[in-house]
Structure 1
C-alpha cells in the first residue's frame, strides 16, 4: 500500500529524516516508536504532504506521491490525524465532521455512518470542539479523518493526555476498521501497551533513522528494553 525508499526531509537546511525506508501493507497496523525528538512527527508530516520531501520516494498504491500536495494525497486516500488533534475549537462537532466530508467531496450519509461508529459523539453534535474533553477531541479528530474515507490513516501520538479507557476504545475502533473496511494505519506512539493491543509490527526510530523492525511477537516480549528506548532512558544511560 505505502512504501518509502531513502526518504529525507526537514525544515530548510535542517535535515530531520535521513534515508527512511518503510512499508505498510493492506490491511495492517504499523507503529513507529521512538523517544521525543527522533523525527516521528516530521515523518508523518512528510507522508501527509505538509513537510516537503528533500529526496527519496513515497509510493502509494503504485503512484509516486512525494511531490503531490497534501490535499491531493487526501483525495488519493491518505487520512491524517496530527499530534494535538487539530480540531477546530470554535466549530461544533457536526461542523468539524462536515469539514472532513467537504475535503473529500464525500456523500452526506457518511456523517450518519460515523455517528454509528462513534456513538459518544451523538449527544455532542452541537457542542463546540473546545467544550469537549481531551479524549472526546481525539475521537472527533479520528472521526473527521475517517470522513474522507481513507485507505491509510496516519495517526500521530493519539495517547497524549488521554485516559486509558479512551485508548482502549481507539484501539478497538482501529482493529475493527482494519477487519471490516481493510483500513491500514501507520501510528506514531510512545505508549507501548497501547501499541501492543493492535500493532502487527513496529519500526524503531532514532535521530531521523529507522534502526530496527519488530514483529508482533517481539513487541510482546521486548518489555523493559522497549520502554527504556521510547522514554530515552537507554540513550541517557549509554551517553553516561
Structure 2
C-alpha cells in the first residue's frame, strides 16, 4: 500500500461516520485515486469521499462506493417505486417524467428521465432549480433497494450553489418526510456543513434527520444536536 493509500485509510479509520465500514473500503490508485467497496449508510459514503479528497494533494477522488441495500429488489421494482414517487411529487407538476427508454429524445422544457441498472439509478433531463435537482436525488435515495444515484439533471437557467439554497432544500426535504414533517428541526448550513437543532420524539427520528441531510448532494458534514423528547 502506497503512502497516499495508507494516509487515506488512516484518515477513514478516524472518521466516526466511516470507521465501522472502513474494512469494506478499498483505495485503488490508477490515473486517479478511487474508493471502491460497499458501505452501510449514505453518510459513510459521502464522508469517506470527502475525507479522501481532503487527504490527497490534488483533491481528486473517483467514487466507486455503493450503498448496501437494506432490501433486495429487482430493477423493475425499483423503477416502479421511483416512478410513483417522482410523478406524485407536487413540486414536479408540469414536468415530463418517464423512463429514458420511453423518451427517445429529450423533450422541450423541463423533464426528468430515469433508468435503473443493477440497483443504480440514473437521472437525466432539465429542471428549473437546484432545489428541484436535489429533491429528485433525495426521492431516488429514498427508494428501497438502490445502491447508487447518478444525478445528471441539468439546471436551466444555471444557478449558483450557496448555503442558503442548500438550507432551503433541506427544509423542503424535512417537510416531505412523513417521519419528520411534524417536528421542530432547525438546520443551519455554513460552508456546506449542516448543523441540526431542535427536538424530535425518538432516536430513530434523530437518525432519520441525519440520513435525510446526507441524501442532499452538496452536504459535506452533518452535526446532529437534535434533542429527543418522547411524546406521551
Same fold by TM-score greater than 0.5: no
Structure having the larger proportion of residues in helix: 1
Of structures 1 and 2, the one scoring higher in RCO (CA 8 A, sep 6+) is: 1
TM range (shorter): 0.3 to 0.5
